[in-house]
């Protein structure tokens, strides 16, 4: 389905204006005569009204030009015919699905549902959650009957923060509906904003399952690479060299070891395993992959300490720097970052590493992790330096970054972002 030329007749309301919701809202405002972007955070709404998006996903020019109505007032949702929920679906400390944000969104939307309205969930959930969790919550909040008075749809988000190539408009959109008529309305709405077209899933549960396995597959593959890197480390074989050699085979899958964070890959598998356990199946491969990836921060911290000892660096009063806190390079996104795991493990050995990230908000880092962002000027005469997130801002200053280390210091180039010839003599360098 290609983008149509006529205005979209649906009155669209997007609930949640984060990394996912804001691009969706901006896109719908271009084709719908009535589009509202709602967020419970008044400060977030005011920031967007001032044409600033701290996530970096939407430019100032786009915010200045959009006709999107921004609001933190639930009354702004009245009159909408299609509600799109793009709120977080995290896990709790026990790695169980936490539906509180999604249920809160349903409670907000419910009073504004009218007969014939559709509620589309974009948040990642386990198969069945849209109908089993959201449906009853919306019924309670609205007094209406799901499947008779209002209808459900599911269209999983596929936005990749910081990726300028794979955008909402260029990625095929999976859509689904509670019945055929709902499916056609959901498909028509998304077809109006997605150039790549839509894929009509046979049911909501199929669409939910498709989303959750996309990131589960990546998680398991990265876990395999992480386990291989730990094996090769003991064999004194460079993992990157092994992968470069194996990658010459046409059907070798190109995954690399690293810290697995973010809003999806480190979270979504737990939604699937929770549902599997509900129906009496104990997952093995998926949870094994999660254990490996969740343990990588600890492994990297201990590897750094071992290398410092082998290099003759004293741990007493050692100066250690960690560059990068975001879950991936060149974005300010802290969600589920595993860099704090590295820092926490170092602290358990009595070390006090410095931390810097050119993109991350200091207040958010303090609030989410209890971590302080240090000035880069403090990074001098370091015994060890961990390049945890190879932001372009660091790579563009690599010679300056490398001078932060004392002679005989240890460099942990986590992703192997620096070329071997860039490393000065006398520096002990190690990568996954």
Q: Which residues are catalytic?
A: 264
Spatial neighbors of 351 by CB under 8 A, at least 6 apart, are: 305, 315, 318, 320
Q: Distance between CA atoms of 195 and 274, rounded to whole angstroms? A: 35
Cα 147–chain centre separation: 32
Spatial neighbors of 221 by CB under 8 A, at least 6 apart, are: 253, 255
Token code pair at residue 352 = 């006090």
Query: What does each C-alpha distance from 356 to 137, 161, 321, 322, 427 come to in angstroms?
Result: 42, 20, 8, 6, 21
**How buried is residue 189: exposed, middle or buried, by Cβ count under 10 Å (0-12/13-18/19+)?**
buried
One DSSP character per residue, 103-115 reads HHHHHHHGGG--T
Spatial neighbors of 309 by CB under 8 A, at least 6 apart, are: 315
Spatial neighbors of 50 by CB under 8 A, at least 6 apart, are: none
Would you give the DSSP letter of residue 92?
Answer: -
Q: Are 205 and 275 in contact (CB under 8 A)?
A: no
Q: Are 18 and 161 in contact (CB under 8 A)?
A: no
- Determine how many CB atoms are found less than 10 A away from the CB of residue 380: 13
Spatial neighbors of 349 by CB under 8 A, at least 6 apart, are: 301, 305, 315
Q: Distance between CA atoms of 44 and 53, rounded to whole angstroms? A: 8
Q: Distance between CA atoms of 169 and 164, rounded to whole angstroms? A: 11
E strands present in 263-381 = 320-323, 354-356
Query: What does each C-alpha distance from 60 to 69, 182, 308, 330 come to in angstroms?
Result: 16, 35, 45, 18
- φ, ψ dihedrals at 128, nearest 5°: 105, -15
Q: Are 115 and 144 in contact (CB under 8 A)?
A: yes
Q: Are 382 and 319 in contact (CB under 8 A)?
A: yes
């Amino acid at each position: 389905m290609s983008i149509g030329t006529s205005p979209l007749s649906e009155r669209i309301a997007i609930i949640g204006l984060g990394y996912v919701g804001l691009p969706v809202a901006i896109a719908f405002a271009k084709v719908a005569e009535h589009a509202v972007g709602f967020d419970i955070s008044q400060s977030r709404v005011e920031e967007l009204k001032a044409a600033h998006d701290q996530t970096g996903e939407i430019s100032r020019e786009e915010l200045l030009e959009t006709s999107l109505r921004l609001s933190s007032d639930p009354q702004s949702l009245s009159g909408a015919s299609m509600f799109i929920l793009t709120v977080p679906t995290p896990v709790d400390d026990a790695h169980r699905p936490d539906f509180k944000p999604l249920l809160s969104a349903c409670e907000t939307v419910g009073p504004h549902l009218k007969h014939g309205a559709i509620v589309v969930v974009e948040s990642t959930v386990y198969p069945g959650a849209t109908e089993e969790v959201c449906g009853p919550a919306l019924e309670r909040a609205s007094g209406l009957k799901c499947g008779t008075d209002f209808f459900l749809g599911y269209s999983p988000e596929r936005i990749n923060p910081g990726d300028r190539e794979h955008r909402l408009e260029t990625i095929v959109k999976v859509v689904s509906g509670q019945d055929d008529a709902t499916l056609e309305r959901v498909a028509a709405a998304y077809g109006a904003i997605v150039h790549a077209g839509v894929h009509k899933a046979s049911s909501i549960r199929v669409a939910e399952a498709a989303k959750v396995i996309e990131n589960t597959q990546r998680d398991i593959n990265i876990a395999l690479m992480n386990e291989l890197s730990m094996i090769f480390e003991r064999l004194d074989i460079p993992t990157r060299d092994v992968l470069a050699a194996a990658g010459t085979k046409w059907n070798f899958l190109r995954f690399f070891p690293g810290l697995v964070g973010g809003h999806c890959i480190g979270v979504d598998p737990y939604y699937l395993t929770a549902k599997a356990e509900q129906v009496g199946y104990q997952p093995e491969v998926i949870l094994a992959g999660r254990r490996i990836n969740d343990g990588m921060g600890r492994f990297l911290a201990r590897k750094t300490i071992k290398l410092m000892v082998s290099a003759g660096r004293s741990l007493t009063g050692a100066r250690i720097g960690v560059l990068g806190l975001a879950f991936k390079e060149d974005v300010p996104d802290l969600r589920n970052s595993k860099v704090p795991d590295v820092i926490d493990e170092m602290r358990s050995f009595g070390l006090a590493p410095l931390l810097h990230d050119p993109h991350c908000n200091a207040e958010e880092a303090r609030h989410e992790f209890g971590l302080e962002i240090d000035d880069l000027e403090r990074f001098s005469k370091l015994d060890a330096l961990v390049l945890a997130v190879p932001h372009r801002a660091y790579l563009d200053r690599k010679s300056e970054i490398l001078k932060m280390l004392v002679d005989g210091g240890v460099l942990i180039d986590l992703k192997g972002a620096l070329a071997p010839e860039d490393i000065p003599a006398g520096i002990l360098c190690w990568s996954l």
